[in-house]
Chain A
């Protein structure tokens, strides 16, 4: 259950900004990809009236690059044919900034809810094909979102996902705030990823200010991130059991999640660890007595997880629903840029923790599932394996004093910077642009944002009643996509 592989990537370097003409946009992006750099997001900033700035983020283990252009005609050539992971990004930039991506045809609306059904969905083809529309209000306690399935009988042929029902305009609302106050907007994007999003934001601000976190700050942030991962993974295991309707498993993991969240509250005063991350410093410290309690409680949760997990292996009514359902092939995971446990369950050995110089992951090894089959079973096992890894990481962190941390000047300041953190759902990046001590732009591209189109790809070919289960096995947030 704890098979791991060693990573040998060097620490990340500085951010390079490459400014190009609109006509060279596509070739610059494709060059970056040919050089082995990975696409991590594309977004536009600026007022709706002026010319928007279009930016794409690429990174390789040693380098990170922002390609930037200012298209005077509000049009550039698309990159989606070569980099399918950019599909939602281009659609969003099209909706929010009126940008055209020549060759991305049709550029279907994503954020724009005023568009007609014909504009944003794929046309239904075939005599026996009909549509099933679900949401935005669902049967359980679930976030708001709309799914449109094309089905024949029970078999799903296609899925269009429409999110952004919860769009609160957090990124736009953060503009003009001080860097210190802006963190509240990153936190509010999503409760379940609050630590991830705020650490990514804080890292982006610190990099822009030329600050480097000290050892204590790196350790305390790593502790908080792993506590967040533990309660989320316990929740996800509970929800996968719920997706099958296996109540004992759901309740056993729900009880463990409750214990993990109560531990969060005892340590930091908040069950979701709100208010624990600040730009440039951390006020969270764990007293020596509490460190012992932390280790003891986590050891108990770890042991109960091990017992429960072992029991689940013998439940045929659960196990028979998991194998071969919602398969994400490795090539598709790579092509669509999948991240997080979902990507690792398909055999993509990638975890942002293996290259996190601003956090504390020495000798981190990417966890791999017992079988990289890319189905619901693999995604569930991956959570179990990663839980063990997080328990071990937390225990190691808690063996030494955990004190409040701060930062020190280490590099030149910059106007533009990126923070990068592995959330429970996959790599999240936060990009900030500053104007002195104030935010000029904020962009959050979370693991969920990356994986929603991947989920939509893994669904066709499965049965409609299996969709909730497949959905739970990815367990993506709606809130941090909608922002």
Chain B
């Protein structure tokens, strides 16, 4: 295990993250409103040693009650709309909503109209748009660290 820890330390040292440094912190909560699992993979990847978003004050928290930002992935399905809105309602104010990926942004949707509700934009106020199918971890990292600089506590 010590070899492994040493190896990881060296890796972190060598990688010298390309993600710009932010200030402060934002607690993130993710809700999958009907994705293909691509956005989840890439969001998880932002924690790997190449991006290491926790170092920048950006951590995924377990409950919406602890979160500043709601990260929404996927086209909003009829079966997830209730859980999505309940998660948003559970968040303390001020709160941000980030649409993560093209589906959440309503682009190039592939689905049967019976199964989707209104686009995310009509359900919740979107503050942060992170495009891509799926957005790469680098795109996600850049967008989230940039959010640290925004006067986001306006509502």
Chain A positions near chain B (C-beta within 8 angstroms) = 113, 136-137, 139-144, 164-170, 172-173, 184-185, 188-192, 194, 235, 248-249, 251-252, 254-255, 257-258, 261, 271-272, 274, 307-308, 311-312, 314-315, 477-480
Contact = CB atoms under 8 A, between A and B. Distances in A.
B50 A255 contact: yes
A349 to B, nearest CB: 29
Given A252-B7, A311-B1, A478-B37, A170 B44 contact: no
A136 B83 contact: yes
Contact of B115 (A139, A142, A169, A257): A169
B64 to A, nearest CB: 8
A172 B3 contact: no
Contact of A167 (B42, B44, B79, B110): B79
B74 A173 contact: no
Residue in B41, B62, B79, B80 whose Cβ sees the most chain A Cβ within 10 Å: B79
Contact of A142 (B32, B64, B114): B32
A168 B116 contact: yes
A446 B17 CA distance: 37
Interface string B1-38: 10111011001000000000000000000111111111
A168 B110 contact: yes
Contacts of A185: 110
Nearest to B116: A168
B111 A173 contact: yes
21 contacts: A139-B63, A143-B40, A165-B83, A167-B34, A168-B77, A168-B115, A169-B115, A170-B112, A189-B36, A191-B36, A191-B41, A192-B37, A248-B5, A248-B8, A255-B11, A258-B45, A258-B137, A312-B4, A314-B1, A478-B37, A480-B37
A258 B36 contact: no
B87 interface: yes
B63 A272 contact: no
Contact-residue bracket for chain B: 35 or more
Contacts of B1: 248, 311, 314-315
B96 interface: no
The 7 A-B pairs of least Cβ separation, nearest first, read A169-B112, A191-B38, A139-B62, A254-B48, A168-B111, A169-B115, A173-B112
Contact of A143 (B35, B60, B136): B35
A272 B39 CA distance: 11
Given A165-B77, A167-B115, 13 more contacts: A139-B63, A142-B40, A144-B83, A165-B83, A166-B32, A166-B77, A170-B110, A235-B41, A248-B1, A248-B4, A255-B48, A479-B35, A480-B37
Given A137-B83, A272-B38, A166 B49 contact: no
Given A136-B80, A144-B80, A254 B49 contact: yes
Contacts of A248: 1, 4-5, 8
Given A140-B62, A477-B37, A165 B80 contact: yes
B36 A479 contact: yes
Nearest to A259: B50
Contact of B79 (A164, A271, A315): A164
Contacts of A167: 34, 77, 79, 115
Contacts of B134: 191, 272
Interface string B70-85: 0000110101100100
Contacts of A189: 36
Most buried by B among A113, A139, A169: A169
B47 A192 contact: no
Contacts of B77: 165-168
B37 A254 contact: no
A240 to B, nearest CB: 14
B111 A170 contact: yes
Contacts of B40: 141-143
Contact of A166 (B11, B38, B74): B74
Nearest to A262: B50
B107 interface: no
Given A139-B62, A173-B112, A258-B50, A168 B4 contact: no
B124 interface: no
A190 B36 contact: yes
B123 interface: no
Contacts of B3: 307, 311
Interface in B41-65: 41-45, 47-50, 60, 62-64
Q: Which of B8, B31, B42, B115 has the most CB of A within 10 A?
A: B115
Contacts of A142: 32, 40
B35 A166 contact: yes
Nearest to B49: A255
B118 interface: no
Contacts of B35: 143, 166, 479
A430 to B, nearest CB: 16
Given A140-B60, A168-B75, A170-B110, A257 B4 contact: no
Contacts of B114: 169, 172
A271 B79 CA distance: 29
- Kindly name the residue among A137, A271, A311, A479 whose own CB sees the greatest number of chain B CB atoms within 10 A: A137
Contacts of A140: 60, 62
B48 A258 contact: yes
A154 B62 CA distance: 21
Contacts of A311: 1, 3-4
